[in-house]
Amino acid sequence: MGTTKTEGFSKRQNEMATLAKALGHPARVAIVEYLAKAGTCICGDIVDELPLAQATISQHLKELKQAGLIKGNIDGNAICYCIDERTVQRITDYLVSIAARSKNSKCC
């Protein structure tokens, strides 16, 4: 064990879990926030923004990229990152649908 069981859950549930997991670390939240704030692609300087070593940040960027939350474009010897809005939208839509349904709940 130690492995997450994915069988038995819907594709959507697994997808949302993966996306949420990718945002489940303050460094990755900070990266996404920084990219959103900037409004443009950010080449480099993410390392200067966070209190983590370069190797660690590279790892976090990789995870965000794999989850589809950010995109990376090679620009010379630097790499430019930016948010993939569509993915963010996907999570937002999902949460909105959850919130909408629990709105009219006669709860304890």
Task: List residues binding its own copies (CB under 8 A).
Answer: 4-10, 13-14, 16-18, 20-30, 32-33, 35-41, 50-52, 71, 73, 75, 80, 82-83, 85, 88-89, 91-92, 95-96, 98-99, 101-108
The sign of the dihedral angle between the CA atoms of 52, 54, 59, 63 is positive
Amino acid at 104: N
Instruction: Tell me: does residue 76 bind DNA (CB under 7 A).
Output: yes
Tokens, residue 75: 């620009």
Compute CA 85 distance to the chain's CA centroid, rounded to the nearest angstrom: 10
Amino acid at 48: D
Instruction: Tell me: does residue 62 bind DNA (CB under 7 A).
Output: yes
Q: Which of 13, 20, 25, 92 binds DNA (CB under 7 A)?
A: 25
Instruction: Tell me: does residue 24 bind DNA (CB under 7 A).
Output: yes
Q: How far is Cα 92 from Cα 54, in angstroms, rounded to an integer?
A: 30
Residues at the contact surface with DNA, assessed by CB under 7 A? 1-5, 21, 24-25, 27, 43-47, 52-56, 58-63, 72, 76-79
